Amino acid sequence: MEIAEAKQIFGAINLDDKVIDSIRKNKKVVAKLTHIIELAGGKAEKTQGNLLYALSTKLPPTQDSYAASFVEQIMNNNWTKVMQLEEGIEFVKSKLASDGGEFKINKADFEAASGVGINVTDADVQKLVDDAFDEHKDAIAELKYDFQWNKIMYGIKDTNKWADSKLVMAKIAEKQKALLGEKPAADGKRKKVNKMGAEDKKALKVNAPKDPEEAATSGKDIMDLIGRDCNIGANSEKIIKEHLAFTKGKIMTRFPPEPNGYLHIGHAKAIRFNFTVAKENGGLTYLRFDDTNPCKENHEFIDHIKKNVAWLGYKPFKVTNSSDYFQELYDFAVQLIKDGKAYVCHQNAEDMSKYRNEKRDSPYRNRSVEENLKLFDMMR
């Protein structure tokens, strides 16, 4: 599609020129967004336009027949956040799974599931933050700014997903400052607490199991177990020292399967190695599911993996997921954008490869921070 034609169609819903330029190169998005704009009546305000664009990229083909219901919520200003759109998609997905293809959207249920009419006020958020600080007051008093503040953020989002994340973060920051004063400047170094000395390391070795049937790597120094690609001499020793300082002398390992299939015999080696190395070094092992795209993971595989780890005789210290850290990673990305160290790029794979080989900057590299933040928020 030519740029002039694209601007005529997509400019009517107040999309930025650079977004329009990226859209026009994707035939599937062009077709879907054009149809959605027709359903919307051909025009939209800025917030509505951004949501219509998000709808064109997020609505699964299996839900195309329900597009009009989604557009209605957007154009009636019932939805103002991408999260509401995503919850609407999840609602329809669950109904299709339970009721089949004959499912008809009940407007009241649809709106309730997507947060329509729910107003979490400033006072509501303040109370949520105050209650969370009270819950963790002992740990906060002890650790101060070293406390894991994402526990409060995630805890609030778990109990009240419609609370505005930015407002929650602002309230947390205000409460921190009022309670602890100004945050101390970071020195760029991780604090070393209860550093393990040579005698402690020696004791761990002496007490390590010697029977090769009990331990896959009994008697080996942890430095001998570091993968070739990770072992970079002195720096590896530094990393291990920092690890031991942070974990109070324990070697912590993880078995990180992606829950998109059944385990095979090769996984048994990885399971045994990680649990054994941790045990003989006085440590513990996490079972960490690498659910980078949690919507596509299957609980059948998750349950199967847990069952197999237990069948091999191992008990994880804790079961975690990659998705547990999505909010934290999202916040880091936002900070990088604000610092001018990251940007949203709409190059396709071919152009990206070409520009990289020619050592040329992406044409989207010099977008303003404000524009990058808007685009990045739309991708959420």
pLDDT in tens, 126-181: 999 999 999 999 999 999 988 888 888 888 887 888 888 889 989 999 999 999 99
Name the pLDDT band for 282 (thresholds 50, 70, 90): confident
Mean pLDDT, residues 344-354: 87
pLDDT at res. 201: 60
Rounded distance between C-alpha atoms, residue 211 and residue 296, angstroms: 42
Percentage of the chain exceeding pLDDT 70: 85
SS3 288: strand
C-alpha R_g of the chain:
26
Mean pLDDT, residues 231-255: 73
Percentage of the chain exceeding pLDDT 90: 40
Name the pLDDT band for 212 (thresholds 50, 70, 90): very low
Mean pLDDT, residues 220-234: 55
Judge whether residue 237 has pLDDT over 80.
no
Rounded distance between C-alpha atoms, residue 115 and residue 286, angstroms: 35
Rounded distance between C-alpha atoms, residue 376 and residue 362, angstroms: 17
198-326: same fold as 3-113?
no
Greater confidence (256 vs 207) lies with 256
How does strand 253-255 pair with strand 285-289?
parallel
> For the chain, which residues make up each domain, given as ranges?
3-113, 122-180, 198-326
Tokens encoding 363: 């044409």
CATH code linked to domain 3-113: 1.10.8.1290
CATH code linked to domain 198-326: 3.40.50
pLDDT at res. 193: 45
pLDDT at res. 348: 85
Helix (H), strand (E), coil (C) string for 68-134: HHHHHHHHCCCCCCHHHHHHHHHHHHHHHHHHCCCCCCCHHHHHHHCCCCCCCCHHHHHHHHHHHHH
Judge whether residue 353 has pLDDT over 80.
yes
pLDDT at res. 227: 54
Name the pLDDT band for 302 (thresholds 50, 70, 90): confident
Query: Measuring CA to CA, how many Å separate 349 from each of 28, 352, 355, 356?
Result: 16, 5, 10, 11
